Amino acid sequence: MNAYVFRKVKGRRLLLHSYAWWPVLVLITAATYTDMRTRRIPNWLNFSFLLAGIAVSVWMGGWQGLWESLAGLGLGLLVFGILAFMGGMGMGDVKLCAAVGAWIGPKQLLIAIVVTAMAGGLIALGMAVWGGFLGEMFTGAGDLLFGWKGQGKPSEKLVLSNPNARKMPYAPAIAIGTLFSFFSH
């Protein structure tokens, strides 16, 4: 949302935060903690913050707030939903991105998604180097990108439903992207 709080300091308007800052900070902190511990993000967390984001957006912005909230929610579902459909992301991450989108709207969420992708790539690279499977990671990424030809789906060894696939909690990357999006204005 674009309802930011400003303060005049030495004649300049400084951005303090959006009214979405604190609720989103609570959401991504709780989601990151649970995703790191259990590799799951609870539905009650995502849905309660999603509904609260819509409600607050309507309260603060009326019909325009509702539109912004639903557009952010839809963008999160679309982008992360495609990744989940491909088997590379869990539905908890999709719902988390939708909940964040309900609070911050599509413009800010687009920034968050781009930074999330970069942060996720760096985290995956770091995990691969640390775990000693860097070559395997690049082979898997190549298979995921180019292995769809003729199959219509990704390789079974790369999807989250495979118990032997390496899995990475993605909530930390979403948190980094979301926090960055607040400071990019």
Is residue 9 situated within a structural domain?
Answer: no
**Does 154 have pLDDT greater than 70?**
no
Is residue 67 situated within a structural domain?
Answer: yes
Is residue 73 situated within a structural domain?
Answer: yes
Per-residue pLDDT tens over the stretch 71-84: 999 999 999 999 88
Domain count, the chain: 1
Is residue 7 situated within a structural domain?
Answer: no
Is residue 8 situated within a structural domain?
Answer: no
Is residue 82 situated within a structural domain?
Answer: yes
Residue, of 154 and 115, whose pLDDT is higher: 115
Please give the average per-residue pLDDT across 82-88, as a whole number: 84
Per-residue pLDDT tens over the stretch 34-52: 999 999 999 999 999 999 9
Is residue 1 situated within a structural domain?
Answer: no
Domain that holds residue 104: 21-183
**Does 114 have pLDDT greater than 80?**
yes
**What pTM value is reported for the model?**
0.81
Please enumerate, as own/partner, the contacts of 88-93 that have beta carbons within 8 Å and a separation of 24 or more: 88/144, 88/154, 88/158, 88/159, 88/160, 89/160, 89/170, 90/39, 90/40, 90/41, 90/160, 90/170, 92/31, 92/35, 92/40, 92/41, 92/42, 92/43, 92/46, 92/171, 93/41, 93/170, 93/171, 93/174
Which sign, positive or negative, has the C-alpha torsion 61, 25, 122, 90? negative
Is residue 10 situated within a structural domain?
Answer: no
